[in-house]
């Protein structure tokens, strides 16, 4: 295969990158003072092994997370297990098979819609992708910057420019610091031309 199967971006990837950035800065300051940093993050621990290793890699710092089962983490585990296969099938235009499989899983309505939308984007069907997430746009605007920018990218690809701008404005206004903005954009390979939004 000429290109590697894409790895679906998750909320986990965003918060882990942001936490890593913050913890690295704090740890370097505390090391100068001959102190050790313990950072408690009120989130479930990373599901992805690479994200877990990234948090463990910070010198002079320990990052503690909440260790409890949840529906969200179960959904993330299923997504991590099957996402690459779903995206590969979607690129092969086997989207009916993917949608049927996703519909049979115990996902929340919004997560089901977002996963389907990402697969439809991989199948080059942006209009259908947008139609699936459209009922959830207000909820998405309250979500993570990564989810907001993914939805904005889908809206733009579907020709829904006013929805894309509305999502971008919500993401910038309510959620982002400069490092978060850079991580979110880089994580989504975001390709908007920004004109005073």
Domain ranges for the chain, please list them: 11-66, 71-188
pLDDT of amino acid 6: 39
- How far apart are the C-alpha atoms of 165 and 64, rounded to whole Å? 36
User: Mean pLDDT, to the nearest integer, of 114-143?
Assistant: 92
pLDDT digit string, tens, across residues 139-196: 988 877 777 888 999 999 999 999 988 888 887 765 555 555 555 555 443 333 332 3
pTM for this entry: 0.57
| Higher pLDDT pick, 193 / 133 | 133
Distances (CA, A) of 133 to 48, 60, 100, 129, 175: 25, 42, 17, 7, 20
- How far apart are the C-alpha atoms of 4 and 172, rounded to whole Å? 31
* Beta strand extents in the chain (DSSP E only): 37-44, 61-66
pLDDT of amino acid 194: 32
pLDDT category of residue 78 using cuts at 50, 70 and 90: confident
Q: What mean pLDDT, rounded, does the chain reach?
A: 78
122 contacts 151 by C-beta, under 8 angstroms: no
Decide if pLDDT at 7 tops 50. no
pLDDT of amino acid 18: 86
The DSSP line for 136-157 is GHHHHHTS-HHHHHHHHHHHHH
Dihedral sign (CA 129, 112, 194, 123): negative
């Amino acid at each position: 295969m000429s290109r590697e199967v894409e790895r679906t971006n998750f909320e986990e990837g965003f918060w882990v990158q942001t936490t890593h950035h913050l913890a690295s800065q704090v740890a370097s300051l505390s090391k100068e003072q001959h102190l050790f940093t313990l950072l408690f993050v009120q989130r479930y621990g990373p599901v992805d092994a690479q994200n877990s290793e990234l948090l463990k890699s910070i010198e002079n710092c320990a990052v503690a997370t909440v260790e409890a089962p949840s529906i969200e983490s179960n959904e993330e585990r299923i997504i991590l297990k099957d996402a690459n296969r779903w995206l590969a099938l979607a690129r092969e235009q086997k989207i009916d098979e993917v949608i049927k499989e996703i519909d049979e899983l115990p996902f929340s309505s919004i997560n089901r819609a977002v996963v389907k939308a990402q697969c439809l984007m991989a199948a080059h069907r942006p209009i259908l992708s947008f139609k699936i997430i459209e009922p959830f746009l207000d909820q998405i605007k309250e979500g993570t910057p990564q989810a907001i920018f993914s939805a904005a990218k889908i809206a733009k690809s579907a020709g829904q420019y006013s929805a894309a701008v509305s999502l971008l404005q919500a993401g910038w206004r309510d959620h982002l610091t400069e490092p978060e903005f850079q991580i979110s954009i880089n994580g989504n390979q975001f390709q908007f031309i920004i004109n005073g939004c």
